Every structure is written in C-alpha cells, then in structure tokens.
C-alpha cells in the first residue's frame, strides 16, 4: 500500500496549520507553563517558609503533640506524637462516616420508598422531609443540632434518665458499659454458631424452594436461632455478662460509655442531610424500573412487599449504586464540617490544631488531602467492583 | 332541512328513547380517602401515625414561630418568654445580617449592586426574555467588574473605599455565590472540553484537576487557600483575605461544573460534531456555535443544582474568618445583650428560612426548566 502514497506530500511541513503540529504545540505550551508555575511556586514557597521559620521537613511527625483529644478510639494522651494525633483523627473521621453512612442509607431507603407510597399522607410527609432538609445548608443543620438541641440539655446533676441506666445531659449520652466475665466467650461462640446455622438453613431453604416450590420460614428460624442460642448459653454459663450502670459522682458520671454531644450532633446531622439525598436517589431508581415489572409480579401473585424486595429493588439497585457511591463520598467529605462543632476528626485535629501548632502548612495540607483522596479512590474502586457484580448480564 | 324531515321516521321504527346520562362515577372524597389513606389496615395505621407526627411537628413549629412568639417589645419580653421565637432580635440585627459592618451611609451601593445582579439573573434565566446573549455578556463580564468597583469604592468615582474586612452578612453569601457561578462556569466549560480532548497531556491535566478537587472536602480547599496561598506568592502579591476564599470557591466549583458540562457534551449526538467538521468549521467555531449552545441548554437544571450546592457551601467560608450570613447569625446569637432562652433557636430558624427560601426557589426553577426541556425534546 505504501507505494500508493504520494511521495511529495509525505514530508510534513512544520506549520501551525497542521492539526498534529498544532496539538503538540498546545500541549508543550500547557506542560511548559504548568511546570514553570509549579517551579516558581515551589521556589517561592520554600523561600517564604524559610523566611518565616516554618519547618520544611516532616520532623514534627515524631514530636510530642501536647494537646488532649476527648474522643479517642486508639490509645492517645498528651504525650503522644503528632503522628499518633493524625491517626486518631483518621480513625474518628472513618468512625463517624461509617456510622452515618449506615444510618443515612437506612433513612434514605425508608424515605425514598415512602415517597412512592400509595398512601397520600406518608408520601407527603416524606416529600416535605426531603424538600426541607435538602434546601438548608448542612452547616446550619449541624449548628442547630449542636447549639440549639444538644447543648441546652440539663447539666449532669439534673440529667434526663432513660430507663435502662441511660442518662442524657449536656455532656452527652451516657450508656451502661458492658463487662465480660469468664464464660462470656461461650456466649459469643453460641452467637457465631447461630449465624452459621442461619446461613446453612438459608441455603437449605433455597434448595427446597428450587426443588419443591415450598417456602420455608427462613427469617423466623434465623431470628429464633440468633436470639435463642446466645440466650440459652448465657443462662447455662451463669450470666457471664453484666453492665456497669453509670452513676453521678461530683459533677460528672462515673462508669459507662459516653457518647459526646459533638459526635452525636455530627452523626445526626450527616445522617439526616445525606438521608434526604439518598431518598431522592432511591426514588428515582425505583421509578426507573418499568411499571410492567410491578404488574407482572402482581399478575404472578406476589405480594406488594415481595414484589418490592424480589423484583423492583434488585433492578433499581443497578441504577441506584453509582449515585449512592458519590453520596457516601460526599458524606465522608462533609464529615470535615466537624471542625465547626469541635468533633475531633482529621481536619479538626490535623489541619486545625497540628497545623496551628507546627505551622507546617504545606506538609499538613498535603497529608490531609492525600487521606481524603485515598478514601475517595478506595471507595470508588469498591463500589465499581460491586457495580460490575450487579450489572445486567446481557445474553 | 326542516324539523319535520328529521323527525319523520324513514322506516316503521319507533325512535329509541334517550338514555339517562351515566351515573357519576368520579371518585368522591370518601373514595379518595379509602383508596389513598386506608387501602389496607397497615396503610390506615401508617396514616394515623403520620398524621399525628406531622400534626405534632407543625404544631411545634407554628407555636414556636408564630403563636407564642414575641413580636414586639425588647430583650425583657424575650427573656420572659421561653416558649416562642424572639422576632424583635431579628428585627434589630436585620441590617447587620444583611450588610455586616458595611458603613450605613454607603449601603445604597450594596442595594444597587444586588438589584442590578438580580435583574440580570432574571433576564438570563427567563427563557422567553429577548436578547439573552446581551444579558450573558453583561452578567459574566461587565457585572463582576462593575460590582467590584461599586462595592469596594474608587477614588476616581468619588466613592470612599470600603475595606473588605467590613463586608459581611448576606452580602458576603451572595457575593461568594455570584463569584462562584461567574467564574466556575467558564472555567468548567474549558475543563470539560479539555477532559474530552484528544490531546493526552491536556486531557491528563484536566482529569487530574477535576478528580483531585472533587475528591477532597471544600474545607480543606479553603484551608489551603487561606494558609498556603500566602506562601505561594511573594509578599507584595499576597491576596486579600476575602479574595483567597473567593479563588478557592471559584476553583472548587469549576471542577463540579466541569462534570456537569461534560454530561451535556456527551449528550450531544456525534453527528453534530461530524457534520460541523464535514462543513470545515474550525474547532473553536464548532464548539461556540454548534455544540456548546445545545450542551449548555440541556444541562441548565444540573447547573442550577450545582449552584444550589455552591450556595449552601458558602457557609463554610466562616472557617477562614469571613463573616458570611450564617457567621453573622452566629455572632448575633451570642450577643450578651440579647442573651435569652430562645435566641439561638430564633437565629437558626431565621437563617434556615432564608437559606431554604433561596434554595427552594432555585430548585423549583430547575424543575420547571427540566419539564420545559423535556417538552421540547418530545416529538
């Protein structure tokens, strides 16, 4: 074929009228100017930092932090290093995000399905919730929960007592602490056995249904096993689990777990706010499933609940999952608003306190941004995998 | 034809007597209630529960905001009433919430800027308005410059210079959002085009920018702008403390806008690009005259949604010490002169109503636009 090409035109002229040359020219221009900008900023930053006495290294990582954090899920005290403070922040961010994601998903699915309810009152209440919550800034909602709801609660001396040894006051929610005695392991073992039996029974029920069409009461049997096994073992082993009920001593409570108001406000705020977005995603996902699917399921005699659970939701999930992922990421990013109400998350501890104490703005910001980017990338990858798993299989 | 001929039977057949109109089977209120509220026992229980819940919430809200609220009088009246909102507090703080510490004698400048801005936005968003291109040029190019000169002041115009530290309240919130949209839309278009470019380096740069910015929280971007921007440039170039978050907001929202625009670009059939290329139209003209007008029109609802998000996100600038509307409410709320049991709730309620009003209005516009566009695409 090469014989047919015109020899006279084979040599390209280096002119800007040539599309390829122009493309390379623009790219070199962009890359060059970006490099120059980065270099300029780098040199300027280094000289500015030196002039202001700001450390240029990561040495601060192993220095003692010297400040206290009220909520720590991993060991930490005032003598710990900045590095340990960083990990406390990361864990706190992940902890509140994880719980809020669970609650928001639950709330979102309930509200999203409620919006499509045949019941006029239910759907209107659900719609109002979505319209109100979505259109008010998250920060305002957080401040409201924290300053207007949780802070005006009574002081520890006049706590609101909730049956079961739970106390609510302006320092948070205090719940009884679980104490394990020897033999508690057996109860845990019984629970594990119950989980195993439930799964085995579920598989067995599936096989029975495939073979005979008979439906076994999987839910009831599993529930009985999950509650019954540990209960029997609990009584047999002589009640090896007890609760330490919190009691008032001086100005504060002793014993029990404390749920801080900052944590509670952030958890409630994030769940309620993101729940309204998830509700909209669920609603549009369900609406996108063709109506014929519902009608066909009804025609086959499936109850409305089963239709929703077995026919509609599995198909809707395919549409729901990509936007749901981005809502989970939004929630995780929005947990950084913790800094406004003093919940010790990554931004509050690291990009706030540590940055102010060390002045190492560039290093601290780079680390903080990398953490969020990493969370973002890992979540998208996990969700993409799930998405592929649940994607439609075309024949 | 006379009446006679009409009524004369042709054959020896009697006329069939007229039948009565069909019975009225339109559903009455009872049928509606039965079908929509009590179709099943569970539905009935839910109806009762939700009516009680909604009634209780509405009662709480109305009694706090209206029935038991203090409407006149001063601090003492509010302090004596722990049941309802304290509206005199809002009345006294109203100007502060609107303008911040902007000098009273110069506040007409803020009003004028906002009135012009509002007019331009209505002109731009009202699809039947004439000459919307002129509005676009005015809004995206002339207005930002004019607004800045008017708000900041200039000696040659005989307007005293008002330092940005005095700006505050709703003025800042609106300023942030307007700057956000004015800059993020063009930057977003460029980034979206870059992301769809065939040139690898340009594409890589755009993708990296978009994904990195979308992967991090807005607060960290604000922190970066506030702490790192002064380190990036020589001292004499250090941006103003209000300009730093403005740059942050413009860059942050442009990444989101880029994704919105990209969705629009992807929705344009390939034939449009190919036809333009076949006609020998240059890339710039193809985008300017053929692709972008169509792409931007279909994504107007998404642009408005992004703008609502941007509007809500402006509340975060308080973290770098800018007194936006919410920060002004926070400052007013803790004023010791007004200490009272319901001051916080009143402040938050008022802030909530203001934000809700803006956002709900915009989302309604976006929905109406969506319906209108859907109508246009139906054949």
Picking from A312, A347, A321, A125, the residue whose alpha carbon sits closest to that of residue B217 is A347
| Least Cα separation, residue B156 to chain A (angstroms) | 35
Confidence (pLDDT) at B377: 57
> Cβ–Cβ of A137/B326 closer than 8 Å?
yes
Picking from A106, A77, A75, the residue whose alpha carbon sits closest to that of residue A267 is A106
Give how far the C-alpha of residue A209 lies from the chain's centroid of Cα atoms, to the nearest Å: 37
How many beta-carbon pairs below 8 A join chains A and B?
Answer: 153
Sorting pLDDT into bands at 50, 70 and 90, what band is A275?
very high
The total of other beta-carbon atoms located within 10 Å of residue B153's CB is 16
State which residue of chain A sits closest to B237, comparing Cα positions: A44
- Which chain B residues are within 8 Å of A137, Cβ to Cβ? 312-313, 315, 326, 355
> Is pLDDT above 60 for A7?
no
Q: State the residue for tokens 């990361």.
A: A90
> Cβ–Cβ of B220/A34 closer than 8 Å?
no
Per the DSSP assignment, residues forming a β-bridge with A242 are A179
Return left, alpha or beta for B126; rule: phi > 0 is left, psi -120 to 50 is alpha, else beta.
beta
- Closest residue to B344, CB basis, from A34, A148, A333: A148
Picking from A329, A105, A280, A126, the residue whose alpha carbon sits closest to that of residue B367 is A280
Confidence (pLDDT) at A1: 44
Answer for the pair B317, B176: CB distance below 8 angstroms, yes or no. yes
Picking from A40, A47, A140, A152 by the largest number of B CB atoms within 10 A of its own CB, the best residue to mutate is A140
User: Whole-model pTM?
Assistant: 0.85
- Which chain A residues are within 8 Å of B46, Cβ to Cβ? 117, 119, 121-122
Picking from B63, B59, B62, the residue whose alpha carbon sits closest to that of residue B81 is B63
Answer for the pair B225, B321: CB distance below 8 angstroms, yes or no. no
State which residue of chain A sits closest to B38, comparing Cα positions: A119
The vertex-B175 CA angle with B262 and A137, nearest 5°, equals 70
| Least Cα separation, residue A313 to chain B (angstroms) | 21
Q: Compute the distance between CA of residue B295 and CA of residue A101 in angstroms, rounded to an integer.
A: 34
What are the two backbone dihedrals, phi and then psi, of residue B115, each rounded to the nearest 5 degrees?
A: -65, -45
Picking from A351, A317, A354, A326, the residue whose alpha carbon sits closest to that of residue A336 is A351
> Cβ–Cβ of B53/A49 closer than 8 Å?
no
- The CATH number of B81-102+162-377 is 1.10.3720.10
Confidence (pLDDT) at A2: 47
State which residue of chain A sits closest to B346, comparing Cα positions: A148
Q: Compute the distance between CA of residue B197 and CA of residue B187 in angstroms, rounded to an integer.
A: 15
Sorting pLDDT into bands at 50, 70 and 90, what band is B11?
low
pLDDT in tens, B249-267: 999 999 999 999 999 998 8
In angstroms and rounded to an integer, the radius of gyration of the C-alpha atoms of chain B is 29
Q: Compute the distance between CA of residue A97 and CA of residue B241 in angstroms, rounded to an integer.
A: 32
Confidence (pLDDT) at B80: 84
- Which chain B residues are within 8 Å of A339, Cβ to Cβ? 219, 319
| Tokens coding A364 | 């601290």
What are the two backbone dihedrals, phi and then psi, of residue B332, each rounded to the nearest 5 degrees?
A: -65, -40
CB within 8 Å of A229: residues ≥ 6 apart: A190, A191, A193, A194, A197
How many residues comprise chain A? 395
The vertex-A97 CA angle with A92 and A99, nearest 5°, equals 100
| For range A319-343, the mean pLDDT | 91
Picking from A38, A121, A341 by the largest number of B CB atoms within 10 A of its own CB, the best residue to mutate is A121
Q: Is B324 exposed, middle or buried (0-12, 13-18, 19+ CB in 10 A)?
A: buried
Answer for the pair B255, B262: CB distance below 8 angstroms, yes or no. no
Answer for the pair A89, A344: CB distance below 8 angstroms, yes or no. yes
Strand order, beta sheet including A160-162: A160-162, A166-169, A172-175, A257-259
Sorting pLDDT into bands at 50, 70 and 90, what band is B307?
very high
At A251 the three-state DSSP class reads coil
Percent of chain B with pLDDT over 70: 96
| For range A189-212, the mean pLDDT | 90
> Cβ–Cβ of A118/B50 closer than 8 Å?
no
Per the DSSP assignment, residues forming a β-bridge with A248 are A253
| For range A309-337, the mean pLDDT | 89
Q: State the residue for tokens 């040659």.
A: B156
- Which chain B residues are within 8 Å of A369, Cβ to Cβ? 212, 216, 220, 224
Q: Compute the distance between CA of residue B379 and CA of residue B374 in angstroms, rounded to an integer.
A: 10
Confidence (pLDDT) at A393: 62
Which run of H or E residues covers position A211? helix A184-212
| Least Cα separation, residue A328 to chain B (angstroms) | 12
Ordered DSSP codes for B128-156:
T-S-HHHHHHIIIIIHHHHHHHHHH--GG
Sorting pLDDT into bands at 50, 70 and 90, what band is A331?
very high
- Which chain A residues are within 8 Å of B308, Cβ to Cβ? 135
- The torsion of the CA quartet A99, A105, A108, A112, rounded to 10 degrees, works out to -170
Q: Compute the distance between CA of residue A48 and CA of residue A56 in angstroms, rounded to an integer.
A: 11
pLDDT in tens, B260-306: 999 999 888 989 999 999 999 988 899 989 999 889 888 988 999 99
Q: Compute the distance between CA of residue B34 and CA of residue B29 in angstroms, rounded to an integer.
A: 9
Q: Compute the distance between CA of residue B17 and CA of residue B3 in angstroms, rounded to an integer.
A: 18
At B292 the three-state DSSP class reads helix
> Is pLDDT above 50 for A328?
yes
Answer for the pair B39, A304: CB distance below 8 angstroms, yes or no. no
Q: Compute the distance between CA of residue A49 and CA of residue B232 in angstroms, rounded to an integer.
A: 10
Highest averaged pLDDT of the listed ranges A6-15, A253-262, A357-366: A357-366
Q: Kindly give the interhelix angle for B300-313 and B243-267, rounded to the nearest 10 degrees.
A: 160
> Cβ–Cβ of B319/A340 closer than 8 Å?
yes
Per the DSSP assignment, residues forming a β-bridge with A243 are A178
Answer for the pair B267, B298: CB distance below 8 angstroms, yes or no. yes
> Cβ–Cβ of A369/B216 closer than 8 Å?
yes
CB within 8 Å of B177: residues ≥ 6 apart: B307, B310, B311, B314
Q: Compute the distance between CA of residue B56 and CA of residue B193 in angstroms, rounded to an integer.
A: 52
Q: Look at A20-34, A83-97, A251-265 and tell me which has the smallest mean pLDDT.
A: A251-265
| For range A299-320, the mean pLDDT | 88
| Tokens coding A215 | 């439906």
Answer for the pair A257, A177: CB distance below 8 angstroms, yes or no. yes
């Amino acid at each position: 074929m090469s014989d047919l090409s015109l020899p006279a035109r084979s040599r390209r002229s280096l002119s800007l009228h040539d599309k390829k040359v122009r493309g390379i020219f623009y790219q070199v221009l962009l890359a060059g100017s970006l490099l120059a900008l980065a270099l300029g900023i780098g040199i300027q930053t280094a000289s500015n930092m030196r002039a202001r006495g700001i450390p240029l290294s990561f040495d601060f990582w192993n220095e003692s932090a010297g400040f206290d954090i009220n909520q720590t899920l991993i060991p930490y005290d005032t003598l710990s290093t900045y590095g340990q403070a960083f990990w406390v922040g990361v864990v706190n961010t992940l902890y509140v995000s994880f719980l809020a994601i669970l609650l928001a998903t639950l709330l979102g699915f309930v509200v999203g399905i409620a919006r499509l309810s045949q019941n006029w009152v239910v759907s209107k209440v659900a719609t109002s919730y979505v319209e109100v919550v979505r259109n008010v800034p998250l920060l305002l909602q957080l401040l409201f929960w924290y300053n207007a709801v949780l802070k005006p609660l009574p002081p520890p001396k006049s706590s609101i007592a909730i049956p079961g040894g739970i106390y609510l006051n302006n320092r948070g929610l205090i719940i009884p602490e679980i104490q394990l005695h020897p033999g508690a392991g057996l109860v845990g073992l019984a629970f594990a056995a119950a989980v195993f039996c439930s799964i085995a029974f579920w598989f067995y029920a599936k096989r029975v249904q495939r073979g005979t069409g008979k439906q076994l009461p999987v839910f009831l049997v599993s529930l009985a096993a999950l509650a019954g096994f540990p209960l029997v073992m609990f009584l047999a082993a002589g009640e090896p689990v007890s609760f330490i009920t919190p009691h008032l001593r001086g100005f504060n409570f002793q014993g029990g777990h404390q749920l801080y108001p900052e944590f509670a406000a952030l958890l409630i705020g994030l769940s309620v706010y993101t729940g309204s977005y998830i509700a909209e995603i669920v609603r549009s996902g369900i609406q996108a499933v063709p109506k014929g699917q519902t009608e066909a399921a009804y025609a086959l005699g499936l109850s409305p609940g089963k239709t929703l659970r077995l026919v509609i939701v599995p198909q809707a999930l395919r549409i729901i999952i990509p936007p749901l992922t981005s809502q989970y990421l939004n929630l995780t990013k929005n947990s950084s608003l913790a800094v406004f109400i003093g919940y010790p998350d990554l931004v509050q501890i690291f990009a706030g306190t540590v940055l102010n104490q060390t002045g190492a703005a560039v290093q601290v910001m780079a680390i903080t941004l990398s953490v969020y980017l990493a969370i973002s990338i890992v979540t998208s990858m996990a969700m993409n995998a799930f998405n592929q798993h649940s994607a439609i299989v075309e024949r | 034809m006379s009446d006679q001929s009409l009524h004369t039977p042709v054959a020896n057949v009697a006329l069939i007597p007229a039948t009565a109109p069909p019975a009225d089977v339109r559903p009455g209120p009872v049928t509606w209630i039965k079908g929509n509220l009590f179709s099943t026992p569970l539905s009935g229980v839910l109806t009762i529960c939700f009516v009680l819940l909604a009634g209780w919430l509405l009662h709480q809200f109305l009694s706090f905001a209206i029935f038991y609220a203090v409407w006149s009088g001063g601090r003492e009246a509010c302090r004596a009433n722990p049941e309802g909102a304290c509206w005199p507090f809002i009345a006294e703080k109203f100007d502060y919430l609107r303008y911040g510490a902007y000098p009273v004698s110069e506040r007409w400048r803020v009003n004028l800027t906002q009135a012009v801005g509002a007019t331009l936005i209505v002109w731009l968003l009202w699809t039947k308005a004439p000459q919307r291109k002129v509005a676009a040029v005015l809004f995206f190019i002339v207005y930002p410059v004019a607004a800045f000169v008017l708000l900041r002041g200039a000696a040659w115009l005989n307007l005293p210079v008002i330092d940005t530290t005095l700006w505050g309240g709703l003025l800042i919130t609106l300023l942030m959002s307007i700057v956000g949209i004015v800059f993020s839309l063009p930057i977003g278009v460029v980034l979206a085009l870059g992301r769809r470019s065939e040139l690898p380096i340009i594409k890589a740069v755009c993708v990296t920018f978009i994904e990195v910015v979308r992967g991090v929280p807005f607060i960290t971007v604000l922190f970066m702008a506030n702490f790192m921007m002064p380190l990036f440039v020589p001292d004499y170039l250090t941006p103003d403390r209000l300009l730093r978050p403005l740059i942050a907001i413009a860059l942050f929202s442009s990444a989101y806008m880029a994704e919105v625009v990209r969705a629009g670009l992807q929705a344009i059939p390939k034939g449009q690009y190919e036809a333009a290329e076949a006609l020998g139209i240059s890339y710039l003209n193809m985008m300017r005259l053929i692709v972008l007008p169509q792409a931007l029109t279909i994504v107007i609802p998404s642009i408005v949604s992004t703008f609502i998000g941007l509007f809500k996100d402006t509340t975060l600038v308080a973290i770098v010490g800018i007194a936006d509307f919410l920060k002004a409410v926070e400052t007013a709320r803790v004023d010791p002169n007004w200490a009272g049991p319901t001051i916080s709730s009143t402040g938050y309620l008022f802030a909530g109503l203001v934000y809700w009003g803006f956002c709900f209005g915009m989302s309604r516009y976006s929905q109406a636009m969506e319906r209108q566009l859907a109508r246009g695409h139906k054949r």
